[in-house]
Amino acid sequence: MGDKDAETKPADRRYLWLGERICSSLKVKDDSYQKLLASENRQEPDFHFCGSASDARRPTQPLVGSCRASLAQFLDSANVTTLLVYVDGKDLGAAARSVPKKVKKSVYFVKLTKAALSNDTVSKQVVCGELGESVLEQLSSLSQEVVLPLLSNPANHVGISDGVGREVQDRLHQFIADACVAIGQTKGQTLLPLPATNEEADRKMAGNTAAVPGLNKNKDALHLLENAVVTWTRQIKGALKATPQSAAAESGVRLGPLQELQFWQERAQDLNSVSAQLTNAKTAKLIKLLEVSQSTYYPGFVRHVSAFIIQLLLDDLLLREHRPLAKEVETGRAEANDNVRYLAPLRKLLEKLSQLDDFQALPEVFKPLMHTLLLIWKHSQFYNTAARMACMLSEICDELIAQASRFLPGAELVQMEPQEAVDKLRTTLKVLGSFKQLFGEYSAKSRTEPPGNPWTFQTSSIFARLDSYQERCSRLMEMSQASLQFSRLERVEIGGTKGKALTANVKQVHTEYMAAAGKLQKVTYDVTDTDQPMFQQDFADYQAVVAELEHRLGSIIFQAVDDCTTVAAIFKLLEGFEGLLEREAIAGELERKYLELLAAFSVDIRQVTEMLQKNQRQPPLSRNAAPHSGAVAWVRSLKERASAPMEKLKGLQKVVLESDEAREVMRAYDRLAADIEAYERSRVEDWGQLVSEISEQKLKQPLLRSEQVNGLTLLQVNFDPSLVKLLREVHYFLLLPGLKQSIPASALKVYERADSFRAQIGNLELIVGLYNDIQRTMMPVEKPLIQGKLDTVDAALRKGLQLLNWNSLRIDDQILEVMALVRDVNETLSAIKATVSSTQKILADWLATPMFERKEGKSYSYDDLSSSANDLIRARHLAVSDGSKDIGKLLSATNRTLKVSKSALAWRAYVDFIQELVIEGLASSIIKTLEHLTNQACLRGPTSPSPRHA
């Protein structure tokens, strides 16, 4: 076991002595104390002693270690003179100088001398006692109720001189008064300490006026009273002198608007408490004693007490003839209570101002806030002074700066993307600017609403910090905008003969700028803090670098412009440096080049004007363009050729635009623009007049029309070409911006049906195509077979030829009906023609191979030739037999398709037609064989008979 363990054994009476008093005072069991002694890891708390305000402000150096170590140090170390033991939850805790604030009761041990304690001296050299939650109140009560009676008892003055005894009592009275004052300070109140007296003095002071002369002889009591009056006077002066500004100066922290409201509330409570203390019975008797005793402290004291309070005191004492005129306390009370009353409506608005998370929504609070301030100015009796209102407005500005700093933290700002930083800074300046603007509006309103008392504040003092913060934000936005503009240089590529070298120079400028901006981004302080002096020098260094880079970049652009050959090339070049051209140094370098650019642009305008005058009657149209809309598109292309450079030209420096050359160019452009507008308007109006005459008339035409071609009746879709042109014109006009209002309503109405017309025309074209193919390909022998279906189709088509027009209802249903009929006829005719085609293919196979074969140059005997011929004839007979069967099957299939009787004349005529084809095919085959035989026998004549003759 170690030495420390040996010290904790029961034989060490020091720990037993401490444990008895700890367990008795804190009412805990001995087990808790033994657990405290056994503690190893519990640390001594680092809390300030819960004493007076001065103790709370005094820095402490706590002894860090285990709770057991605190007991051991108190017993063994001569330098440790105090020990505090308290209940910490379910366990005991020990500390050398401080206890947690939540502790309600503790036990203190104090050494009488700085020495280590032994078993014999611990009970003699240590005093102990209990401390409650309110230590100062306990100390004050102990001093007045225990110590003062002991020191006031003459029996305890044996062996002490009167002077020493009086001085000790005076010091004790002063200590009691200081304790009372300290108690008030901890509570935020002004407590007036009453002089502590013995019971005999109290009985005399409690008497009536007749008892006063006797009391006046008691110089000690009067001395105590005068000391108390001095303390009261000092306290009342301090309470009356307190202002929001002095409170902020004392705390070293800027006072916010909510803190000012709290100040006035606490001040009202404090002065009301002072008034209540001055008007109680005991204080009244003490003041009466001062007056009747003709104390020299009485006039000085009443100067700081209101006439109202004195009157109450004198009314109680029947001394109405005394009416002090001083009103400091009453005036202070009235002011504080009046301010609390009229400032109360501001609380919710100020809380919203300080707690609102959406910074951009702050302007919604400004107007009701300003309106409330104006109402306070009109109706309050004390807060309608320039000093008070200027103070409140200045505090609101500080709160706005705090909100802006939360929305735009300086540490994050320098690391943001430039565009994001610009957006946030612009938002911040907009919000802060709206507050100042609204202040100006209500400042003007104050000249009329409270007559004779307008807002005449010095805005320079009110908005000093806000203006400084806005200026800082403006500088930071200047830097962010420059970073955004210079960052574009990384992507700039300059063409022309000098392009490669100039591009390299631009890249170098970009690199150097990024280095300068990066240096400012690495600062360790908050760049938005206006009290930070280092920013001024750092920003000045940054500006010097930027100025030098601007001059270099201006020279580069100057050379690049010289290398351009056209106006378009110059503007394209300048587009790459967008944003940078407005910078002062660069603009100065390019000012002379801008004048040359004006001259070149003037030539372009003259060329465009000549093109308009030359081609306006027959404008060059693009392929497939409609006449009128194409003309408008052409003239707009001319306008764009001039307007695009003109818009960029307007972005040049003001000094360039105000030159005579620029004014002349603008006049020429205005004339050209007027001519283009007039031409466009005339083309649209001319087309509109034609449309109104065409649209309704052409839509009343029938859907179809017929015509005779080589004896055949053929059909065509009757959609007038003028309607097609109308739809095209409307379509292309709608593609041109800003022309929809100029298109006639009748044309737009027709165009709304464009998709329907397109579908209907497509279906009708299909129907007409099928019908015309039927008419062209149908043979006379085939027509009787489909005559019935043809008649049905003709009847249906007759509606489209005679009855239906493009405005008719249910056109789509009629088209679908005719489509089905025409397709049926076409399919039937295709089946008939398929039979003929298949028959002709079979006959072609017979014709392809003659019924005589002989190899070239070979001689045959009769027998060989006869045998070969017989084989060929048998094969041909077999082929003819099979072909005849196939043709028969084809005829049967066609008959089933036509659903016609085999005895019908039309069918019999069709079968005869097929038979003629077969006979002609056989004859052709025989003739081809004879011709081949003749050629082989060299007996071919000059002419060959036709198959029919054969």
Type of residue numbered 713 = T
Q: What is the pLDDT of residue 944?
A: 46
**Distance, CA of 800 to CA of 630 (rounded, Å):** 34
C-alpha span between 624 and 630 (Å, rounded): 9
Query: Pairing relation of β-strands 91-95 and 106-111?
Result: unpaired
Contacts 24+ apart (CB under 8 A), 421-430: 421/476, 421/477, 421/480, 421/483, 422/477, 422/480, 422/481, 422/484, 425/473, 425/476, 425/477, 425/480, 426/477, 427/359, 427/360, 428/359, 428/404, 428/473, 429/470, 429/473, 429/474, 429/477
Q: Cα 396 to chain center, whole Å?
A: 25
pLDDT of residue 884: 81
User: How would DSSP label each residue in 645-697?
Assistant: HHHHHTTS-HHHHTSHHHHHHHHHHHHHHHHHHHHHHHHHHHHHHHHHHHHHH
Predicted pLDDT of residue 62: 37
**Pick from 888, 905, 779, 837: nearest CA to 896:** 888
Helix residue ranges, H only, 344-417? 346-355, 363-379, 386-407, 410-413
Confidence at residue 200, expressed as pLDDT on a 0 to 100 scale: 43
pLDDT at 456: 83
* Per-residue pLDDT, 875: 77
Scan for tokens 């008895």, then name that residue.
20
Q: Dihedrals φ, ψ of 119, to 5°?
A: -60, -30
* Contact (Cβ atoms closer than 8 angstroms) between residue 260 and residue 244: yes
Q: Which pLDDT value is given to residue 713?
A: 85
Rounded to two decimals, what is the model's pTM? 0.56
pLDDT the model gives residue 365:
92
Q: Hey, what are 148's tokens? A: 């003062």
Is residue 240 within 8 A of residue 268, CB to CB? The reply is no
Radius of gyration of the chain (CA): 58
- For 905, counting Cβ atoms within 10 Å of its Cβ (0-12 exposed, 13-18 middle, 19+ buried), the class is exposed
The pLDDT, as a whole number, for residue 264 is 86
Residue 621, CA distances (Å) to 292, 384, 634 in order:
118, 77, 7
Do 887 and 918 meet the contact criterion of CB atoms below 8 Å apart? Answer: yes
Instruction: Name the strand (E) or helix (H) holding 595.
Output: helix 584-615
Question: Which residue carries 């993307």 as its tokens?
Answer: 417
Residues of the chain with pLDDT under 70: 1-11, 39-66, 101, 196-226, 247-252, 283-327, 450, 589, 651-656, 692-693, 852-861, 865, 936-950
Taking the C-alpha atoms of residue 12 and residue 361, their distance in angstroms, rounded to an integer, is 71
Question: What's the CA gap between 308 and 305, in Å, rounded?
Answer: 8
Give the closest residue to 197 by CA, choosing from 232, 137, 149.
149
Q: How far apart are CA 629 and CA 231, in angstroms?
A: 100
Q: Which residues of 454-486 are buried (b: 16+ CB within 10 A; e: fewer)?
A: ebebebeebbebbbebbebbebbbbbbbbbbbb
How far CA 930 is from CA of 364, 848, 918, 919, 933, in Å, comes to: 113, 13, 19, 17, 5
d(CA 469, CA 458) in angstroms, rounded, equals 18
